[in-house]
């Protein structure tokens, strides 16, 4: 597959996969060479035996598989797997299903009944959808317009369709959104479709635009909306005076507050202002964008604002540099930590024609404002530094790790003047449920279906397992029963039985590059001593930490143990095995970020989350992985094989 063949979410034509290229529209293949058949007179043998295909099904844990999954099991590249599968199709042993905007899936002919085990049950009055044993296609499509609210075991998924899910659906027309809804639901539900269309329309009732005389105007679709909603919800400090029955003059600097207020009233505002283009900046990339990255750039430039939402390893930073080149204006890049600022500087110097004197850093350790300036959120929001950023004519502001923006200490950065705002995040979610403010303050989501990137091989789909570990009875079980709430969480997280479980997982995956995550310092020290590996925490000097990471990248070390300091803001190396020995109380962002360390294109991606059986850690572990599940990643739940008295 070429880069250009990977579409954005909601593309009417769907992604063209390597299977499509091999098979075309015909479910059989006429060319023996391309189908993986070996000629032997009139009888041809496929290059993969049926029992090997069954092994791939067993590894996947479901009755249908994609070619990439078969390739991983049999150590073949995707094109070889496609050809081999077509050989089995030609024999009649295997069938294939082409699903619009989803990878081709394959299943044994005699398993036709099993392939239909997925059940989608809508509850339109509650706007809920329960799916039993959902396919990757169904999970990926539902993620476009619904919220994964709950997962029961490995099979039952409960989705809610919230108004903000419809407002933020990544489509440019209601017809395309409706097409996705109808692909997933087993029948047409007129009442639900009418509600979705109503929410779609509500997100298009108000807009901000620039008057020819230079000031900002708020426009409503009707006089009733302007009078009964906008002028009732907004005060004179925000709307200075009426211009007409449907238009009002906006007070300078109150645009963000207006957008927040109307959003909370149920009416997202389309921001179509002609903002100052900023001082020009000529930037060129020295690398080629993938097809979906080019699509992100085009969609962003068309809208002037948005949040790139893609899985870890999909190249959001690269796409951001492509947007910088397309905008051609001086750029402010906001990051949560100084270390991320240094990483951005190094990346810009490595992949653009910018000179070192073109790039400045502005934070506690360095204070230089240049045509491209990288600053921390905290510094940019301080009153004593604010004027420097306000005075600059920015063409683009990039909000890296944009999920930080709704926090009170960071949200002032959203008021900085610029002609374009770009957010970046693999996990635009917050446990305080303020993620909707990300899109209000910065712009709508722009992304590509994760399953399309998995199938294309750009990002590795992780194999994720929650493993329930028994208590170390002798030391901890009695203590847990009498402990207070926070102490209970720490005791469960630090269950000593997890040490042996980590050993078992490492032994089962020899040669893997493994990152082990521990949230508690005492647990990290215990694991480090037991495994004889270094424990990277906030207490470790920066120079030693970087030396260990460098050794891990060069394959001089196979295992590193990392505290919460590795979740965000440092250049943590990639791995092919991640073990979460403990986690931050069910944080979905933390779970996705840690799993994301394995999701680069090469190698295998395996993720294990350890949870102490019979404690709140069970629910925390499931919640941690909800964001991944909502993107189509399958999560298995198993019991440890350790004895109860381990």
Span 199-221, pLDDT tens digits: 999 999 999 999 988 899 999 99
Q: Which two tokens stand for residue 260?
A: 């927040």
Average pLDDT over residues 608-624: 86
Do the Cβ atoms of 569 and 337 come closer than 8 Å?
yes
Distance CA 48, CA 112 (A): 20
Backbone torsions φ then ψ of 611, nearest 5 degrees: -140, 135
Q: Which two tokens stand for residue 181?
A: 């809804």
Element (H, E) at 78: helix 78-91
Domain contains 285: no
Distance CA 101, CA 103 (A): 7
What confidence score (pLDDT) does residue 585 get? Answer: 64
**CATH code of the domain covering residue 325:** 3.40.50.300
Does 361 lie in the same domain as 508?
no
Does 215 lie in the same domain as 187?
no
Nearest to 48 by CA among 89, 17, 103, 96: 89
Distance CA 632, CA 115 (A): 17
Does 608 lie in the same domain as 497?
yes
Q: Which two tokens stand for residue 66?
A: 């994609």
Does 197 lie in the same domain as 232?
no
Give the count of domains, the chain.
5
Does 72 lie in the same domain as 19?
yes
CA dihedral 178, 183, 188, 190 (to 10 degrees): -20
Does 92 lie in the same domain as 32?
yes
Does 548 lie in the same domain as 465?
yes
Does 334 lie in the same domain as 240?
no
Does 138 lie in the same domain as 9?
no
Judged against a pLDDT cut of 80, whether residue 548 lies above it is answered with: yes
Whole-angstrom CA distances from 235 to 217, 238, 241, 258, 414 are: 15, 6, 10, 10, 21
- Collapsing DSSP to helix, strand or coil, 49 comes out as coil
Residue 205: is it exposed, middle or buried by C-beta count within 10 angstroms (0-12/13-18/19+)?
buried
Numbers of helices and strands, H then E, in the chain: 28, 28
Distance CA 577, CA 592 (A): 14
Domain contains 281: no
The beta-carbon contacts of 91-98 under 8 Å, at least 24 apart in sequence, are 91/44, 91/46, 93/46, 93/50, 93/53, 94/50, 94/53, 95/27, 96/19, 96/23, 96/27, 97/64, 98/20, 98/27
Domain contains 608: yes
Last residue of a domain, one of 58, 81, 115: 115
Higher-scoring residue by pLDDT: 554, 38: 554
Distance CA 64, CA 95 (A): 10
Residue 328 has a CB neighbour count (10 Å cut-off) of 15
Percent of all residues in the chain with a pLDDT value above 70, rounded to a whole number: 80
Does 213 lie in the same domain as 106?
no
Domain contains 411: yes
Last residue of a domain, one of 115, 140, 165: 115
Residue 303 has a CB neighbour count (10 Å cut-off) of 16
Residues making up the chain, counted from first to last: 646
Last residue of a domain, one of 185, 202, 219: 202
Would you place residue 493 in the very low, low, confident or very high pLDDT band (cuts 50, 70, 90)?
confident
Distance CA 546, CA 89 (A): 51
β-pairing, 559-562 vs 535-536, is parallel
Provide the greatest CA pair distance for the chain.
Answer: 86
Backbone torsions φ then ψ of 230, nearest 5 degrees: -60, -50
Judged against a pLDDT cut of 90, whether residue 248 lies above it is answered with: yes
**CATH code of the domain covering residue 69:** 1.10.10.10
Does 621 lie in the same domain as 516?
yes
Higher-scoring residue by pLDDT: 105, 358: 358
Average pLDDT over residues 88-95: 84
pTM of the predicted protein model: 0.62
Q: What is the DSSP letter of 615?
A: S
Do the Cβ atoms of 611 and 491 come closer than 8 Å?
no
- Residue given tokens 């105007």 in the structure block: 217
Residue 582 has a CB neighbour count (10 Å cut-off) of 28
Distance CA 48, CA 213 (A): 70
Q: What is the DSSP letter of 634?
A: -
Q: What is the mean pLDDT of the chain?
A: 79
Distance CA 389, CA 418 (A): 10
Distance CA 613, CA 622 (A): 13
Distance CA 354, CA 350 (A): 9
- Collapsing DSSP to helix, strand or coil, 554 comes out as coil
Helices 174-184 and 190-202 pack at an angle, to 10 degrees, of 150
Domain contains 282: no
Domain assignment of residue 66, given as a range: 3-115
**Residue range 430-483, pLDDT digits in tens:** 655 566 677 777 888 887 777 777 777 788 888 889 999 998 766 666 677 677
What confidence score (pLDDT) does residue 305 get? Answer: 86
Domain contains 279: no
Domain contains 283: no
H helix runs in 494-587, sequence order: 497-508, 521-531, 542-553
Q: Which two tokens stand for residue 37?
A: 């058949």
**Residue range 120-137, pLDDT digits in tens:** 888 999 999 988 888 777
**Residue range 33-87, pLDDT digits in tens:** 333 333 333 434 557 788 888 888 777 766 677 888 888 888 887 778 888 888 8
Contacts of 235 (CB under 8 A, 6+ apart): none
Domain contains 276: no
β-pairing, 128-132 vs 156-160, is antiparallel
Do the Cβ atoms of 399 and 390 come closer than 8 Å?
no
CA dihedral 608, 308, 445, 3 (to 10 degrees): -90
Q: Which two tokens stand for residue 242?
A: 């009426």
**Residue range 306-335, pLDDT digits in tens:** 889 888 888 899 999 999 999 999 999 999
Average pLDDT over residues 99-114: 59
Do the Cβ atoms of 73 and 59 come closer than 8 Å?
yes
Distance CA 629, CA 208 (A): 36
Distance CA 530, CA 314 (A): 35
Residue 583 has a CB neighbour count (10 Å cut-off) of 25
DSSP string of 417-479, one letter each residue:
-BS-EEEEES----TTS-THHHHHHT--EEE--HHHHHHHTSSPPPEEEEEEEPP-IIIIIHH
Does 315 lie in the same domain as 402?
yes
Would you place residue 348 in the very low, low, confident or very high pLDDT band (cuts 50, 70, 90)?
very high
């Amino acid at each position: 597959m070429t880069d250009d063949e990977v579409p954005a979410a909601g593309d009417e034509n769907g992604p063209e996969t390597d299977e499509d290229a091999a098979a075309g529209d015909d479910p059989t293949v006429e060319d023996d060479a391309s189908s993986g058949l070996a000629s032997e007179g009139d009888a041809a043998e496929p290059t993969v035996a049926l029992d090997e295909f069954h092994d791939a099904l067993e590894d996947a844990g479901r009755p249908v598989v994609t070619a990439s999954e078969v390739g991983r099991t049999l150590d073949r590249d995707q094109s070889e797997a496609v050809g081999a599968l077509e050989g089995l199709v030609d024999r009649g042993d295997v069938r294939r299903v082409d699903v619009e905007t989803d990878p081709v899936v394959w299943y044994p002919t005699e398993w036709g009944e099993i392939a239909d085990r997925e059940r989608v049950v809508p509850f339109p009055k509650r706007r809920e959808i329960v799916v039993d044993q959902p396919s990757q296609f169904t999970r990926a499509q539902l993620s476009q317009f619904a919220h994964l609210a709950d997962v029961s075991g490995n099979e039952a998924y409960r989705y809610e369709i919230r108004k903000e899910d419809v407002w933020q659906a990544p489509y440019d027309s209601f017809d395309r959104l409706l097409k996705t809804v109808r692909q997933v639901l087993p029948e047409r539900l007129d009442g639900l479709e009418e509600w979705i269309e109503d929410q779609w329309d509500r997100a298009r009732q108000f807009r901000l635009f620039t008057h020819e005389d230079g000031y900002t105007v708020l426009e409503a679709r009707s006089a009733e909306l302007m009078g009964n909603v906008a002028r009732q919800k907004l005060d004179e400090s925000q709307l200075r005076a009426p211009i007409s029955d449907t238009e009002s003059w906006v007070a300078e600097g109150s645009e963000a507050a207006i957008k927040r207020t109307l959003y909370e009233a149920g009416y997202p505002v389309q921001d179509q202002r002609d903002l100052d283009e900023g001082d020009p900046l000529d930037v060129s990339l020295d690398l080629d964008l993938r097809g979906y990255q080019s699509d992100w750039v085009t969609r962003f430039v068309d809208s002037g604002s948005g949040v790139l939402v893609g899985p870890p390893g999909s190249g959001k930073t690269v796409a951001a540099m492509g947007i910088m080149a397309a905008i051609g204006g001086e750029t402010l890049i906001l990051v949560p930590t100084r270390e991320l600022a240094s990483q951005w500087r190094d990346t810009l110097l490595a992949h653009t024609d910018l000179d070192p004197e073109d790039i400045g850093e502005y934070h506690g350790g360095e204070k230089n404002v240049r045509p491209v300036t990288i600053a921390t959120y905290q510094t940019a929001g301080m009153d004593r530094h604010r004027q420097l950023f306000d005075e600059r004519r920015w063409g683009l502001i990039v909000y890296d790790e944009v999920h930080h923006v709704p926090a009170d200490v960071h949200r002032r950065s959203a008021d900085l003047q610029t002609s374009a705002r770009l957010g970046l995040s693999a996990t635009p979610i917050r446990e305080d449920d303020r993620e909707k403010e990300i899109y209000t303050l910065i712009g709508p989501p722009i992304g590509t279906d994760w399953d399309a990137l998995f199938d294309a091989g750009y990002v590795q789909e992780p194999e994720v397992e929650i493993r329930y570990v028994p208590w170390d009875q002798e030391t901890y079980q009695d203590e847990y029963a009498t402990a207070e709430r926070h102490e209970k969480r720490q005791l469960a997280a630090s269950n000593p039985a997890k040490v042996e479980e980590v050993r078992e997982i490492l032994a089962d995956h020899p040669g893997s590059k493994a990152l082990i995550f521990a949230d508690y310092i005492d647990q990290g020290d215990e694991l480090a001593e037991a495994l004889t590996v270094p424990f990277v925490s906030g207490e470790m000097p920066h120079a030693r930490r970087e030396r260990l990471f460098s050794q891990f990248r060069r394959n001089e070390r196979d295992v590193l143990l990392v505290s919460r300091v590795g979740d965000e803001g440092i250049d943590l190396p990639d791995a092919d095995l991640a073990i979460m020995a403990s986690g931050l109380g069910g944080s979905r962002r933390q779970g996705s970020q840690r799993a994301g360390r394995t999701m680069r294109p090469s190698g295998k991606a395996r993720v294990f989350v350890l949870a102490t059986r019979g404690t709140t850690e069970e629910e925390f572990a499931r919640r941690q992985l909800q964001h991944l599940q909502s993107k189509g990643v399958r999560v298995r739940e198993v019991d440890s094989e350790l004895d109860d008295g381990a």
